[in-house]
Structure 1
Amino acid sequence: MLDSSVVFVGRDGMNFDVNSDLIVALPSGFINGEQVVNAQYPNFKFYHGTSNEDCLKAIRDKKADVMLQNMYIIRECLQSPLYEGIAIFPAFSFPEEEKIIALPEDKLLMSIINKSIKMITQDETNDIVINHTIGKGYHADFKEILYKYRFPLIGVVILLIALFSLLIIISGIRQRNLKAIEKVNKKLETAVIQADRANNAKSQFLSRMSHEIRTPMNAIVGLTEIAKRYEEDPHKIDDYLDKISISSKVLLNIINDVLDMSAIENNKLKIINEEFDIKQILSSISTIYYAQCKSKEIHFDMIADIQNEYLRGDALRVSQILLNLVSNAYKFTKSGGKISIIIRETECHNEKAVLQFVVSDTGCGMTDDMKSRIFKPFEQESANTAKEHGGSGLGLSIAKNLISMMGGTISLESEKDKGTTFTVELTFAVVKPAEAEKNTSDEQKIADLHILVVDDDKKTSAYTSTILSRLGVSFETAQSGDEALSMLKTKRDEHPFSLCLINWEMADMNGAYVLKQIRDDQENEKMKVIILSYDANEIQDEAAGADCFVSKPLFQSTLQNALLTMMNSEYAENKTANTQYDFTGHRILLAEDQPLNAEIAIALLAMVNMESDHAENGRIAVRKFCDAPPGTYDVILMDMQMPELNGYEATKEIRALDRPDAKEIPIYAMTAEAFTEDIEAALKAGMNGHIAKPIDTKVLYETLKKEIILKDLHQKEGDL
């Protein structure tokens, strides 16, 4: 009826080797095909699939090598994209004749069918075949389309994923960049605000500095002119000179604050480590501010509960910290207020002592906002603060930085209109002085005393009691003058007092009255009396009946020495410290290139009978020292910046000389270069120390006194 052919199909590029053991895929029911293959290729094996699609899938998945099927059927199947890569092997085919078979009883039906088939021409047959095979368009379903274009689709998907990922990454980067830019902008905004604040603060600072500097300068210039008109009135001259001196020190403090702040900001300020006596620092502060507070009618009190008085650290910076804190308290405390300074040794172990400094005042206090800004440079509560109280706004900032550099801490408590308390803690190495060895007989003398402490202040009375307990002294306390006089009488027969320790400043009955009552009673004729006061010179006339004066704040060593001295009967009459200097018979070499500075130094030295030789530069100083016999000069004062040969080089040349006093003579830098590195440079050059300009006469005279005493001791040891 229809002639066609059965063909083999297989994977493109496959070698159809008829001698190999190829696996032939046959759809279910294709029995004739299996017979033909067995007949032609007995070595072939079979894979029986359930359908044409199953057989083609087996070839694609390499479960079978080839498939046998009618060419018309297989062509339609191969149009599916699922079977790309599978092709017909035209060289290997078998003819196949398509016929219709019917049962014998259907002869009539078959006759009709045969007649109908014969009526179909060959062209019509070909058209039918074409229309139902090749001409019939294949319509792939969605799955087949996906399979056909799987690689492009995969590529597109990968590209889309990559693009999406890239977009996410770009978006993330953009977000990060935006956040970074926002962060930078905020920082820049903050920096701009801070810069504006700093500029405003510095502008205000310069404005204040102009006022602060011009005020003392105006006083100095004005009073100098006025003093010239009263040359014949020494009292007015003294008054004007005192005011000029005060104004000069105010101006110097302002300049020092600015220089210290600059040194701190540029990391040029260094902390030195040397032995010092804490008593000297506290006594100096007490001396300065007791008088100022008294003139302003402010109650001033200082308690120093310290056992270790000799320490190692930076004495200058400790003093500066405390002066700044006390100055701040004094500045903001009105008349009738109170300033209290308490120093405690809170702990001591491994030769390290922790000292706590508490400075309290009953001044105007601070707002919370001001407390957060108080340690920043140039900060003051308002412009009115600067106008009313003055100051540079640097003192507390400098103190905070110095405390941090020394490894300490500072905290504050303040309430507006109530007052402020600053608490500082610093650690120092403990130094045991050579004279600290105890004398048993002296201890016994003190232990035999029975002392009456007269003080109406509970804190200071308790502190004095603590010191006496440490010294092993028997004592009792009286809270008022009346109570003290009563106790002197009642204890006279039982256990009489051998000494009275009287606080001069008492409210109901001051020390003068108590002292007079004691001396008026003949029974107290042998009674020793020690007066405790912040200023012995101030009360010397009123307290003429006292045996001894001890300056406050009271220190354990000071009281112990006073008691020992009195027990050794060295006080025949009341004595105060002799602060007069007399250097008659001594000579110094002064190296100074500035004529005015040299004139001032020579005059200051002449005031204490110190002879001086002046050298205009370092070269002349070396020559003068070489020309003078050994021992001519007690001390050399050396300026640093001089022509021809500066102070450092001049010192090195003197130290290198081959003469007995070259390496021993004390050489002190006397210069306006007052930073720590300048002091270190002077010491490295071979100098013994540093005296800053402008010259503090007390520092100068004490330095000369110390060196001359040491020289005399060495000479005595040499004579022995």
Structure 2
Amino acid sequence: MKVGDKQLFLGMTSDISRKKAVERQKEERFIARLTRSNEELKKARVEAEAAVVAKSEFLANMTHELRTPLNSVVGFAGLLAKSSDLNAKNRRFAEIITSSSQALLALVNDILDISSLDADAVRLHPVVFSLPKLVEDVVASVSLMADEKNLQLKIEKGAAVGEAHFGDPVRLHQVLLNLVNNAVKFTSEGGVVVAISAAEPPGSDQHLRIAVRDTGIGISPEQVKSIFQRFTQADSSIHSRYGGTGLGLAISQRLVELMGGEIGVDSVEGEGTTVWVELTLPCEDARALADEDRADILQAAGSSSRVLVVDDVDLNRDLVAALLAPQGYVVSEATGGAEAIEAVKTGNYDIVLMDVQMPEVDGLQATRAIRAMDGFADLPIIAMTAQALASQWETCREAGMNDHLPKPITPVTLMAMMSKWTDGAPRVDDDNSGALDKLGGSSA
């Protein structure tokens, strides 16, 4: 090889080496950046998971803090409004307090539902129920607001609609109550019709359509497109005129989809709106309602079941005692977990209603201690808690609790729970007016 060729070869080799070195440096820098990105992603993931845990803990704590006073406000306001000792003016005041406290509770529930749906923590609890009766209950709940606005509120039931279906009546009630409440809210003249129909007579399954029609303000085609988005209302003036969070329809859509159904809107601006829900539900023999619809079949049975109510908040214990004592239950009280453990040892109770969050010995610790004692494995212990998240109930169940009674406690939910877990359920007074007398007070 000539000297010139050799120098040229060496030069080319050197250039190739330099290029390879540059490529290696680029590759190393890329790998370093990728490694840093992976580390940052891992860190972000850890932070996101921690944020989810923190959010859940915050919601659980806030739920408890909000629901605890609401339990007393809703409960006692409801008892007061039904008291026979009130004159018309004071009864009206009590009804306003009841309505306002229930509206506040609905807001709290909306916030919790959105969080639970986001976390896929909402579970359906299907039972046999009467759809026509459920719709009647929904309409009755908003009848006062409709009367105040001089609106007609009607139910139309198709001849083919069955009397008993299998589904989650609590969640369906929540959806329909939201739709009917919205219809009444946004209607100033005319009325609201809730129509239930079925294309075919009852069989193994029945495809149902529930339509809520109003003669209200209506919605434009552009606004219909976003009506089911969370925190969204038809226009910016809606909140100032009617209030609301814009969560109700978003929650309703998610719940209907969870039930395997579909929800939609047909509307003409200025003429009214129809919001419809279509579901396919298994049909059941109407006689099965006698076994499932516990709240509707509570009858007088002369029960004298002994109940231990455990709660560190005096008003909460007073409310439960005020609801139970007029129905024939023998009620004892404990102010904390340690006191409850000692009471169970000697009290011969038929059921324990146990608050969960209490200082020192909480409801979970008390339940574990009771379950560890001889002879109390089958004692019904019901969690009374303002924490409505599904994970909280799982914690209660793992501690040995049999069931879950969320606060605020209502007469129907309380009596249904007592009927489920005690022998010989006592009757439910239509007005529960006697409950106030058990507190030693009345109003004139």
Q: What corresponds to 2:414 in structure 1? A: 700
Counterpart selection for 2:244 from 391, 399, 416: 391
Q: What corresponds to 2:347 in structure 1? A: 628
The answer as to 2:188 corresponding to 1:334 is: yes
Alignment deviations for residues 466-499 of structure 1 (CA, whole Å, 9 cap, x no partner): xxxxxxxxxxxxxxxxxxxxxxxxxxxxxxxxxx
Distance 1:658 1:433, change over 3 A: farther
Counterpart selection for 1:637 from 350, 353, 357: 353
Alignment deviations for residues 299-322 of structure 1 (CA, whole Å, 9 cap, x no partner): 211123365433333221111110
Look up the equivalent residue of 2:280 and give its one-letter code: T
Mapped contact 1:672–1:693 kept (Cα < 8 A): yes
Distance 1:709 1:387, change over 3 A: farther
Structure 2: gaps spanning 5 or more residues: 1-65, 291-295, 427-444
Look up the equivalent residue of 1:640 and give its one-letter code: V
Mapped contact 1:671–1:693 kept (Cα < 8 A): yes
Look up the equivalent residue of 2:313 and give its one-letter code: Q
Shift of 1:234: 5.3
Q: What corresponds to 1:179 in structure 2? A: none
- Superposition pairs of residues 364-443 of structure 1, within 5 angstroms: 364-432=217-285
Mapped to 2, the partners of 1:597 and 1:612 lie a distance apart of 13
Higher RCO, Cα 8 Å, sep 6+: 2
Mapped contact 1:582–1:609 kept (Cα < 8 A): no
Q: What corresponds to 1:588 in structure 2? A: 307
Q: What corresponds to 2:317 in structure 1? A: 598
Mapped to 1, the partners of 2:408 and 2:123 lie a distance apart of 21
Mapped to 1, the partners of 2:309 and 2:287 lie a distance apart of 34
Shift of 1:409: 0.7
Counterpart selection for 1:690 from 394, 397, 404: 404
Distance 1:421 1:233, change over 3 A: closer
Distance 1:360 1:696, change over 3 A: same
Secondary structure of 2:216's match? coil
Mapped contact 1:581–1:701 kept (Cα < 8 A): no
Mapped to 1, the partners of 2:209 and 2:172 lie a distance apart of 12
The answer as to 2:175 corresponding to 1:321 is: yes
Mapped contact 1:364–1:418 kept (Cα < 8 A): yes
Q: What corresponds to 1:506 in structure 2? A: none
Shift of 1:407: 1.7
Counterpart selection for 2:152 from 289, 299, 305: 299
Shift of 1:348: 7.4
Counterpart selection for 1:310 from 150, 158, 164: 164
Shift of 1:668: 2.2
Counterpart selection for 2:386 from 647, 657, 672: 672
- Superposition pairs of residues 67-466 of structure 1, within 5 angstroms: 236-305=89-158, 307-335=161-189, 337-347=190-200, 351-432=204-285
Distance 1:588 1:265, change over 3 A: same
Secondary structure of 1:428's match? strand
Shift of 1:398: 0.7
Q: What corresponds to 1:39 in structure 2? A: none
Mapped to 1, the partners of 2:407 and 2:214 lie a distance apart of 33
What is the aligned residue count? 342
Mapped contact 2:202–2:283 kept (Cα < 8 A): no
Shift of 1:687: 3.8
Mapped to 2, the partners of 1:246 and 1:583 lie a distance apart of 33
Mapped to 2, the partners of 1:578 and 1:430 lie a distance apart of 20
Distance 1:614 1:329, change over 3 A: same
Mapped to 1, the partners of 2:216 and 2:179 lie a distance apart of 13
Secondary structure of 1:270's match? coil
Shift of 1:349: 8.4
Secondary structure of 1:328's match? helix
Q: Considering only CA atoms, is the larger Rg found in Structure 1 or Structure 2?
A: 1
Look up the equivalent residue of 2:181 and give its one-letter code: S
Shift of 1:412: 1.2
Mapped to 1, the partners of 2:129 and 2:240 lie a distance apart of 38
Compute the RMSD of aligned alpha carbons: 3.6
Look up the equivalent residue of 2:332 and give its one-letter code: D
Mapped to 2, the partners of 1:409 and 1:297 lie a distance apart of 31
Mapped contact 1:584–1:609 kept (Cα < 8 A): yes
Return 578-587 or 239-248, whichever deviates more.
578-587
- Superposition pairs of residues 512-591 of structure 1, within 5 angstroms: 585-591=304-310
Q: What corresponds to 2:332 in structure 1? A: 613
Distance 1:427 1:380, change over 3 A: same
Shift of 1:399: 0.3
Look up the equivalent residue of 2:168 and give its one-letter code: D
Alignment deviations for residues 25-54 of structure 1 (CA, whole Å, 9 cap, x no partner): xxxxxxxxxxxxxxxxxxxxxxxxxxxxxx
Shift of 1:634: 3.5
Look up the equivalent residue of 2:306 and give its one-letter code: R
Please report the TM-score for the alignment, with normalisation by the length of structure 1.
0.43
Mapped to 2, the partners of 1:413 and 1:595 lie a distance apart of 50
Mapped contact 1:583–1:610 kept (Cα < 8 A): no
Shift of 1:582: 9.7
Mapped contact 2:311–2:317 kept (Cα < 8 A): yes
Mapped contact 2:130–2:289 kept (Cα < 8 A): no
Look up the equivalent residue of 1:395 and give its one-letter code: G
Distance 1:408 1:634, change over 3 A: same
Please report the TM-score for the alignment, with normalisation by the length of structure 2.
0.67
Distance 1:690 1:581, change over 3 A: farther
Look up the equivalent residue of 1:639 and give its one-letter code: D
Shift of 1:708: 4.5
Distance 1:355 1:623, change over 3 A: farther
Secondary structure of 2:192's match? strand
